[in-house]
Each structure stands twice: as structure tokens, then as C-alpha cells.
Structure 1
């Protein structure tokens, strides 16, 4: 691996396994700072992103909905179940550190080989009889080559990767819930804007009819005003349908049937906003925070640990065993020293004549590690790309929204001037219609820009990886193995 790839490789959260040879007990080595910086755009700040970034909107209703979604979302429940599956695998791997025992008892009728041998030697007949047999055996693998230790580390890394995948899903659920709620509010506000436009057009239509009665305007002016009014009113059902769809999404995100609409959220008609620049942190905090980077790093660590597991197959497997057996014709005689047999000592097994299979597994493990390294690099680059794209789109949307706000203010002023001039007879009905059409269109565009700006904010927060934190962090995995993660 070239020197240019080291900053990228070592930029993860827990890169001890990726930047050094695997060692289970070793403390995590300090990672190198990545040689990248996030772009600085207007409306953002280098302050660290809070864990519950949605609280920046200061909307208790939004806080309640996000917490409900994180607690009851069914996809999150499935991801948590997958974590529990892999934790079970971790416990199974950790059990390899302990000896295995066997305890057996049997009562059978017949004769064994020793009786038959004795009968042949004494030229007599071996009688069949009932026999009590009991056995206790203990086997313990001496982990001389680190196979058990490496398998435990790989299992732990798999469980941590599953936790990171679940955390990534939490990020998406928080972002989707916030986006759906903001869309409900934005569509409610958009509907209010449309209703206000309808009211303004109705007032203008009444004024136009008065002007027609006075002989100033014609029936054509009335028809044009009526057409614009109906076009503006026709958008109301579509806005209501879109708002219902967003409420349905909120319900499903919280693990409820779509028909279970949140009544409190359905009354939101005010756009939440963030009054201060968005906290985005820096590239280093981004790489530490993103769950997908943590997941790729843990997968890389597991792949490297499996190299050691495969290498251990090249060497003899050494086990220490002990066995105690008793065999007697009566149950009471089983404790007699003459009925007892025992054995204790090491046992070595080694498939050295056919090591090609073991070498193939080592090569396969190395290839898997190379693939995991490439995926890790790709995830890191993808994370930086996501944030840069989100920053660029947010900056552009913010500038467009500011320009539309200025244009809407000018159109509002122009409409008021046209109405004054119409009362004075200085303009005709066509100019009034044009000014109304322009004002209605720009008010609608401004409302749409408000929603897009909020969605760009949410997308930026999602790209930054906020919202996954919870109490059962990867450190809790030590409870499943009795060792440090």
C-alpha cells in the first residue's frame, strides 16, 4: 500500500486493526488526521454537530416524533435483532477459550472386548451381563497460534459492524422523520399562502366587477380574473393530498399503520427554522461520526483478523484432555478403584500432508482483506463527497431563496401600486391581471423554496452522520466476552 493511501486508511474511528497487525489486547493506536478539509459556505459554522441535531429547530413536536420513530421503527427493530444474532456468535466464539466437557452414563447388557480376550486366553466362555458405565471427559485447546483469539476478535468486529449498520439506519430514520414533519409543516404553510392568494384574487375580482359596472372594464377582464382565481384554487386539493402523504410517512416511520395519523403534527402550519448558522464541524469529526465509516472499518478489522485464523490452520492443533471412566456390573461397585480408568495428556492433530487447502484459505482471507480495504477507502471518499455536495446544494438553495424573497417583495409592492392606479383609472385590467399572476407565482415559488431549503438542511445533517448515538455503544461488547473490545 502506497504512502498516499495511509492518511485515507487511518482516518477511521478505530483503526488499530487496519493500520497495524492484529493484536486483541492492544490499546487503540492514535489515528492520523486526514489531509482534507470541509468547504466553508455561508450559513454554516465549524462548531461541532450536536447529537440530536433536530433540536436545533426548537420544535417540541419534532423532538417527540423523532424519538418515537427511533423507539418504534420496525426497520430499526430488525437491525437490532441482527445485532443480537451477531452478539450470539461473539459469545459462541468467546466460549472457545474455555474447556469443553462431556458427561455420560449408560446401562447395557452384553460383553465387551476385554471379557472376550480374557475368555480366549483362559479357554473359557465369556458370559454376558448387565454393565454400568459412566464417563467424564475434558478437552481444552491450547491456543498456541492464536486461532481462538483471532476468531473472537473477528466475531467482535462483526458485531460492531452490525451495530454501526444499525446506527446508520438510525441516522436515516431521524432524517426521514424530520424531513416528513418539515414537509407537513411546509405544505401547511404553502396551503395558507395559496388560500391568501385566493382571498386576494377574490377581492380583485370584486373590484373588477365594480369597475365593469362603472363602465371602466369589460367582461373580458372579468373572465381573465375568474380564470386566474380558479387556477389558484385548483392547487389546494393537490397540496392537501401531498400533506396527507407526508403524514402517512410519519406514521409508518413510527411503526404505525399509515392510517394512524398524528393529529398534533397534522395541525402544523408554521415552518420551523434554525436561527443560527448550521454547525457542521470539520472533516475529522465527520470521519469519527459517520456510522458507515465505522462499519467499513470494523469489516476491515474482521477481515484482517480472519487472516490470522486461516494462518493458524497451517500449524498443529494442540489439545489438552483428561478422561475418567468407570465400568462395573453393579452400580455400587462403580466407585471401586478396580472399576476406574483414567487418562490425561496432550493430543496433537495436524493435517500436514495436505496443506494446500489451508494455504488456499489464507490466500482467500488476504483477498477478502484487500476487498475490505478498498471498500473502506470508497466509503471514506463517499462520505466526504456526500457532505461537499450537501454543502454546495444548501449554499445554492439558500442564495436562491434569498433572491426569491426579494423578488416576491417587489412583486407585492408592484401589485399594490397597480391597484392604486386602477382605482385612479391610470391602468387597465390586463395590467392588474399580470401583476396578480406574477405575485401568485412568486409567492408559490418562495413557499417551495422554503421547503427545499429545509430539505437541504436535513440532507446536510444526514450526510454529517448525526443522530445515531445511543447508550449501547460498541464498548458494551466487552460484557459479552469478559474482555476489552
Structure 2
């Protein structure tokens, strides 16, 4: 131990590369109003903002049964167990041992011991002797230079990172449920509109054929109407299959086979949340699971590098032990007693063929890679928020324009119907105006589905929801 410290002075850690400063986030987002929200909503129940109890129940059922979440939580338990293992190295290890035995002489033991055992009275019956030993020992490595504490810190950081990754999995699963649910509901509403369009097209075809039979129209007009009807009908099959795909996806997310699709009503009562306000880059980055996970990875790599550098320094061990035992041989007096041990041990690496230095260089490179990964994740998170906000604003504008077009289509339908009743328009004009109005209503539904998808993407980008609640304007009355 006296020689360990001066010898350690001969061992130097290799020089490492300086690490760059982390990315500095901006003070505010370009697409989010910095005003404080009017109402706080828990981030871990963001989906309740959509106002659909059936959706709430589906999310809760999925959280309880989803396999990805189960896998992630199992990894969290494993990481926490490894952190406990690393922390246990800070404390002494105490072990108790015991043994009891007996020996049998059957004439196969050579030499004077065999003759002695064979000549003893017990030897005639085959019993030669026995004994027992009971021992209690302890070993402890005092963490003089903090290497074991660094290992513990690295394991704790790794466990926290695994927990953050599990939170990210939960985030993605919930977002997947909400997006598929709102898309299934929107597609079901589109299917209703399409069937109404087909009914109007059938009526228009019958009217065109009747006019042709009366000599008031021609075959080209009938063919044009039939072609339009065929184009509408061609959309039905893909819509039905898209709805089935969303329903099967919801079943699989909830741990059921796809053969048990989840029924989503067309009028599900969904209320689209408004664009959030009061969100700052600093709060979003502190909330996002992927950013927290990379920060935990940096902490783990830094602690690991510290531990690797401590391997160049001396190690000290304290050994304490005690034993009690007794040994008996037939015909020979028994021997027994107690023994104790206390020892101090020190070691310092002098020559390892560059192994420890290479580990330090590798650990420093791992830390640099973790820092770069953290910077990349921060930049990607900021980009996600801005992109999702732009998508939502674009979807809002698109829906507003299509709603205005729908209002105009409904006005045209009402006016055409009034002119028909006054004898100034034909029934064909009314049916064509009705088809145009139904097409405009379908365009509004498509815009609403796009709004919902953009909202879910914004939720993902913000890392679990936002503060504030609100709704967009409702769609106009359907024709």
C-alpha cells in the first residue's frame, strides 16, 4: 500500500479531445404564440382534449395491453436492476460458508493412513471419520478515487435514459391510437357522403335516360352522367378498405389480433384541439422523451469515462474473515479450533500494453458521440415543432377555404332548387348542384382529417401534449 501511491504517479491518463458546447435553443418558436394558456391540461392525458369518451377508453385499454409498452417497461425494470447491482459495489460483500462431511474407508486407501484406518474398530464398519467447518468472511473495496461511484452514476443515468425511452414509446403508441381513431371516423363520414353522392348520381342517370327517351336529350349526355357515377363508385372500395385498415391497426395496438377490428363510429364526437399557446423551446425540450434520453446518455458516458480514468489509479481492498471447524479421523484424536483473518491489499497497474489508455480514448469518443447525438436530437426536436406547427396552420387554412367553398355550393344548391320549383331550372340542374355540394362536403372532411393528423404530429413534437384547450369552427351543415 505504501508503494501503490508513488507508483500511481508514474501512470498518466491519455490526452482527450475537447468537447464542443451544446446547442443553444432559441427563446421562442416561430409558429407558436408565446402568450400564456388560459387553461392547464395534464400532459399525460392530452387525448381527453378531443372530447370523445370512446377514444379515452380505447387509449386506456391500449396502454394496459400494448406489447411495445410492455417491452419498454421490462427494459426499465432491467435497467433499474443493473443500477442496483452497480450501487452494491460500494458496500462490503459478506458471505457465509459451511460444510459437514464424513469419509468411508473400504480398503482402497494406500499407505500408513490406510493401514491405520483399517486397524481401527470403526474401520471395520467402514466409517473412517468426519468434520465440519463454518466460515464468515467480508470483502470491501473502499472507493478512494470515486471509480465505483462513477459506475453507479453511469448505471443510474442509463436507467433514467431507458425510462425516458419507455415514455417515448408510450407517446408514440397513444399518438398512433388517436390518429387512427380520428382517421377512421373521418373516413366513415366520407363514406356516408359518398353513398349519398351515388344515390344522387343514380337519380340523375334515370332522369337523363327519361329525357333521352322523350327526345329531349341524347346518348352522349347519358354516357357522361354514367361515367361520372362510375368515377364516384370507384372511390368506395378504397374508402372501405382504408377504414378496415385503421380499425385493424387499433385492434393490434390494443393487443388483439387484426381479425377483431375496433369499430369507430362516424359521429364519434371528436373535438379538434386548438393550436397550443405558451409553449417555449426550453419547456418542450425538457419534456420530450428523446431529448431527455440523450441527456441521460451523455451523463452515463461522462460517468463511464470518469470510471475508466480511475482504473489507472490504485485499488485498495479490505479482507476480513473468520472460521470455526473440527476434523475427526477414526482412531485419531480430533482437531478443531477457530481462525481469523484481516488483510489490506493494494494494487496499481504498471503495464497493460495500452489497454487502459485505449479504453479511456474509446470512452472519450463515446462521450463525444453522445454529445453530438444530443445536439442532433435537440435540433430535430425544434424542427419537428416548427414543421408540425406549419402543417397544422396549413391544414387550418385549407379547411377554412374548403368550408367557404362548401357554403357557396350549398347556396347554389338552394338557389337551383328554388329555380327548379319556379320552372326555370331542370331536375338535372338540381341533381348536378347536389353532387357538387356533396363533393364540397367531402373536401371539408378530407381537410378535417388532415387537421387531425397534423394535430397528432404536433402533439408528438411537443412531447406529450400542451397547455390550453379550444376547438376549431365546426363544419358547415351537410347538404
Does the 8 A contact of 1:324 with 1:341 survive in 2? yes
Q: 2:411 aligns with which of 410, 413, 428?
A: 413
Distance of 2:61 and 2:42 partners within structure 1: 19
- Cα deviation for residue 285 of structure 1 reads 1.5
Distance of 1:322 and 1:289 partners within structure 2: 49
Aligned counterpart, 2:343: 345
Aligned counterpart, 1:249: 249
Over aligned residues, Cα RMSD in angstroms? 3.2
**Higher helix proportion:** 1
Distance 1:46 1:39, change over 3 A: farther
Aligned counterpart, 2:455: 457
Aligned counterpart, 2:111: none
- Cα deviation for residue 260 of structure 1 reads 1.7
Aligned counterpart, 1:50: 42
Distance 1:278 1:175, change over 3 A: same
Q: TM-score, normalised by structure 2?
A: 0.78
Give the SS at the match of 1:339.
Answer: strand
Aligned counterpart, 2:81: 88
- Cα deviation for residue 327 of structure 1 reads 4.6
Aligned counterpart, 1:477: none
Distance of 2:316 and 2:190 partners within structure 1: 74
Distance 1:177 1:242, change over 3 A: same
Query: Which runs of 5 or more residues in structure 1 are unaligned?
Result: 9-33, 111-127, 469-485
Distance 1:428 1:217, change over 3 A: farther
Does the 8 A contact of 1:217 with 1:429 survive in 2? no
Distance of 1:189 and 1:431 partners within structure 2: 26
1:9-28 correspondence to structure 2 within 5 Å: none
Distance of 1:465 and 1:169 partners within structure 2: 11
Aligned counterpart, 2:63: 70
Query: Which runs of 5 or more residues in structure 2 are unaligned?
Result: 1-16, 105-127, 467-479
Does the 8 A contact of 2:251 with 2:258 survive in 1? yes
Give the SS at the match of 1:354.
Answer: coil
Does the 8 A contact of 1:133 with 1:328 survive in 2? yes
- Cα deviation for residue 244 of structure 1 reads 1.1
Distance 1:282 1:219, change over 3 A: same
Distance of 2:435 and 2:134 partners within structure 1: 97
Does the 8 A contact of 1:174 with 1:467 survive in 2? no
Does the 8 A contact of 1:293 with 1:379 survive in 2? yes
Distance of 1:363 and 1:129 partners within structure 2: 59
Aligned counterpart, 2:31: 40
Distance 1:41 1:300, change over 3 A: closer
Distance of 2:102 and 2:149 partners within structure 1: 42
Does the 8 A contact of 2:175 with 2:460 survive in 1? yes
Aligned counterpart, 1:296: 294
Give the SS at the match of 1:272.
Answer: coil
- Cα deviation for residue 61 of structure 1 reads 0.7
Give the SS at the match of 1:351.
Answer: coil
Distance 1:173 1:292, change over 3 A: same
Give the SS at the match of 2:235.
Answer: helix
Give the SS at the match of 2:342.
Answer: strand
- Cα deviation for residue 411 of structure 1 reads 2.8
Distance 1:433 1:467, change over 3 A: closer
Give the SS at the match of 2:237.
Answer: helix
Aligned counterpart, 2:360: 362
Distance 1:134 1:4, change over 3 A: closer
Q: TM-score, normalised by structure 1?
A: 0.77
Aligned counterpart, 1:14: none
Aligned counterpart, 1:121: none
Aligned length: 419
Does the 8 A contact of 2:23 with 2:375 survive in 1? no
1:169 aligns with 2:160: no
CA deviation string 1:84-121 (max 9, x = no partner): 111111111121122112333344779xxxxxxxxxxx
Distance 1:130 1:270, change over 3 A: closer
Give the SS at the match of 2:89.
Answer: helix
Does the 8 A contact of 1:93 with 1:152 survive in 2? yes
1:266-415 correspondence to structure 2 within 5 Å: 266-270=264-268, 272-274=270-272, 276-279=274-277, 281-330=279-328, 339-354=337-352, 356-415=354-413
Distance of 2:147 and 2:102 partners within structure 1: 40
Distance of 1:256 and 1:306 partners within structure 2: 42
Distance 1:451 1:391, change over 3 A: same
CA deviation string 1:326-380 (max 9, x = no partner): 453349xxxx997222121321122223373222222221111111111111111
Give 1 or 2 for the bigger CA radius of gyration: 2
1:228 aligns with 2:228: yes
Distance of 1:423 and 1:230 partners within structure 2: 29
1:60 aligns with 2:53: yes
